[in-house]
A and B are shown apart, each in its own frame.
Chain A
């Protein structure tokens, strides 16, 4: 893992531990990520990569240590502000998290609507995003009828 200690860091982790019950998923992780920095995190399966990300957008609570995201201390953030934190992230979930009963269009639109975007904007944005990933002619398809790669392309959420 690369770590650049720097004043302008957008994301900072100090001695972060994560336990799932008795299972230690992350041990003493410390890192800073600067603005515009492009960072890979690699490791074997089960190393804790997904866990690290989940801690950042609070899908999982930290067991020990501190995390700062854009000035917000995640251990002190109020329940009400968690959505604001999450809106700062664009995430492609490992399991894509597409809703099988909704169309491609609805799946992408849902993310934008959930983030409080205006409807006129949502429509434009969904179409443009799907055009970028080359899925503009599958608007009304349902995820189970898509190939793995196609599902992955739909899962690209642009905040």
Chain B
């Protein structure tokens, strides 16, 4: 085996240009597909976090008295499907806003009076998380006295869910296309290497080389191309990811979102995919070559 590996490496070094083309192609494909996947992974993380915390903001009519407010709260408590109710006074809301928009505090400081309404923040039990349930609950809440407006992000969640599915489908389609194109290019470079070696291969055959003796180094060559291509692709992606991560670190932490890279397992799977690509490339070109 070490002998075959040595021959494969020697072959790669002797056909540096061809191999570089294949490796760069594989690296680019891995980079593009992985970048897509990474974006999707993080977007889904955020989406899930957001979805989990579905809450309904219940804004009260301006000038609602404490008694009226307690009454509304009591009525809210009788509605089933609601998990928690938290009162956010308009002063609390303003404080919160000032905290979030620290850079624009001067703007808020100049306000003569607080324009925000008092509100209840209502979270739902998990079973009430379906679009229909939320719609129904918010309509019931809207009918309560002293309630001026009910707000929830469900429309957006639905729209995003549809978008995500589309995105996923496009990703799979694109992945399949890149995979095939890369196999094709890898097959062609191996074919060129085979062509430049045809004399040698013919002689080896005549003096009694087995099929495996001739083929295995080319399979290894494909595997090595796939392996190095994947590593390069992932390496570039990771570098870019880290750079973007530090760039937006502050914004991201202010929004309470964290982004993450692929796990080791996923990286290994991607590398495996790259190696499969190289192997398939060798397989197809050898199949054709042996036929000739």
Q: Which residues of A contact B (CB under 8 A)?
A: 57, 59, 79-80, 83-87, 89, 91, 93, 97, 99, 102, 110-111, 113-116, 119, 157
Whole-angstrom CA separation of A159 from B32 in the bound complex: 52
Instruction: Verify A115–B3 contact, CB threshold 8 A.
Output: no
Residue of B204, B205, B206 with most partner-chain A CB within 10 A: B206
0 or 1 for each of B189-230: is its CB under 8 Å from A? (1 = yes): 000000000011001111111110100000000000000000
Number of A-B residue pairs with CB-CB distance less than 8 Å in the complex they form:
46
B contact residues, total (Cβ < 8 Å):
13
Q: Which residues of B contact A (CB under 8 A)?
A: 3, 199-200, 203-211, 213
Instruction: Verify A83–B209 contact, CB threshold 8 A.
Output: yes
Q: A99-B199, A99-B200, A110-B200 are in contact. Are A115 and B207 (CB under 8 A)?
A: yes
Instruction: Verify A114–B3 contact, CB threshold 8 A.
Output: no
Q: Whose C-beta in chain A lies nearest to the C-beta of B213?
A: A114
Chain B residues with CB under 8 A of A157? 207
Instruction: Verify B204–A110 contact, CB threshold 8 A.
Output: yes
11 A-B pairs whose Cβ atoms sit less than 8 Å apart in the complex: A57-B206, A85-B208, A86-B206, A87-B207, A87-B208, A91-B207, A93-B206, A97-B206, A111-B203, A111-B207, A114-B213
Whole-angstrom CA separation of A57 from B207 in the bound complex: 9
Instruction: Verify B203–A113 contact, CB threshold 8 A.
Output: no
Q: Whose C-beta in chain B lies nearest to the C-beta of A97?
A: B203
Chain A residues with CB under 8 A of B199? 99
Whole-angstrom CA separation of A124 from B9 in the bound complex: 24
Which among B3, B205, B206, B211 is the interface contact of A113 at CB below 8 angstroms? B3
Instruction: Verify A116–B207 contact, CB threshold 8 A.
Output: no
Chain A residues with CB under 8 A of B213? 113-114, 116
Instruction: Verify A99–B207 contact, CB threshold 8 A.
Output: no
